[in-house]
Amino acid sequence: MEDKTVRKDSVAIAAAAKKKEGFIYNMIHNGPFLLFALPGAIWMIFFFYIPVFANVVAFKEFQFSPNGFLASLAQSKWVGFQNFKFLFTSDAAWLITKNTILYNLGFITLNLIISVFFAIVMSELRHKRLVKVYQTSMLLPYFLSWVIIGYFVMAFLNPDKGLLNTMLHTDINWYAEPKYWPFILLFIGTWKGIGYNSILYFATVMGIDPTYYEAATVDGANKWQQIKNITIPQLVPLMTLMSILAVGNIFRADFGLFYTVPQNSGALYNVTSVLDTYIYNGLTSTGDIGMSSAASLYQSVVGCILLVSTNAVVRRLDGDSALF
């Protein structure tokens, strides 16, 4: 009996030692990769996971306390869903919701079509150095801040000395004419993100097995037939994935695009006011953090529901293209 006990203990100790050696081995060999991922993990923890607990502010009449945020949170009065009323009972509730959804639907459609188009065009170019020049020039706007882009737009649309008025010999006050801005915002938003999205699709196109195209050429397929029957079907999973992620953010708008580029012009509010700018303007004018937090929480919850619902539909239609 003692021998069996000793043998079991020896096996357990050996297994523990092996497990420990495996952990140490993984830490040593994967250490550089874990080190590279550490800043991103820390950033995610501090700016995404810890702030989740502060969502309780949306259900309180938040009042600042000199003793710090936690003391302010504890002393603030619980008001339930009272903070959400300002968003749903406001006269602008329908307008900002409509603008946010329609603009995002436009961005999703345009980014998908134009990005795939440019990715396929670049994959057909044989001059590799020229492809790099095109990719770099298309990607440059993605790294520019909206403040810089706002000044670029102003150089074109300035009522007095703008390039567009000078070229067209007109005196249009662009920042007071709402009818032009849906097209301007869609164009600028697509222009800024097209380089990044097209590179994603381009990388997928370059990863397609060339034997597919060789077989299609042998069968007599022309270039358009190869794109239609090989390239696009191979891009469908990535197109679906990007669309699912975009639908999850359909209740969020790019604050810089809708606030900085139109210069927050009051004459354009009917076409430039979206949920994010409405929250910001409400916060700066009233200082009510509870109401602003309620609107942000509403965006997050609806976005999560839409993402999960869209993914469920895609998983039912094509399980391989679903996000999870």
> Could you report the per-residue pLDDT of 214-233, keeping only the tens digit for each?
888 888 888 888 888 888 88
Residue 200: which of 247, 248, 142 has the closest Cα?
Answer: 142
pLDDT at 12: 54
pLDDT at 1: 47
Q: Give the CA distances from residue 202 to residues 178, 241, 244, in Å, rounded to whole numbers and listed in that order.
A: 36, 15, 19
Q: Please answer whether residues 208 and 281 qualify as being in contact, where contact means their C-beta atoms are separated by less than 8 angstroms.
A: no
Domain locations along the chain: 2-78, 86-321
Rounded distance, CA 99 to CA 251, Å?
10
Structure tokens at 62: 């938040």
Task: Indicate whether 109 pLDDT > 70.
Answer: yes
Distance CA 289, CA 300 (A): 16
What confidence score (pLDDT) does residue 21 get?
53
DSSP letter, residue 228: I
Q: 57, exposed or middle or buried, with CB in 10 Å at 0-12, 13-18, 19+?
A: buried
**What span, in angstroms and rounded, lies between the C-alpha atoms of 234 and 203?**
12
Model pLDDT, residue 14? 52
Rounded to two decimals, what is the model's pTM? 0.79
Q: Which CATH superfamily is domain 86-321 in?
A: MetI-like (1.10.3720.10)
Q: What is the mean pLDDT of residues 68-76?
A: 74
Choose between 198 and 128: higher pLDDT: 198
Query: How far does CA 275 lie from the centroid of its chain?
Result: 15
Q: What is the mean pLDDT of residues 226-250?
A: 87
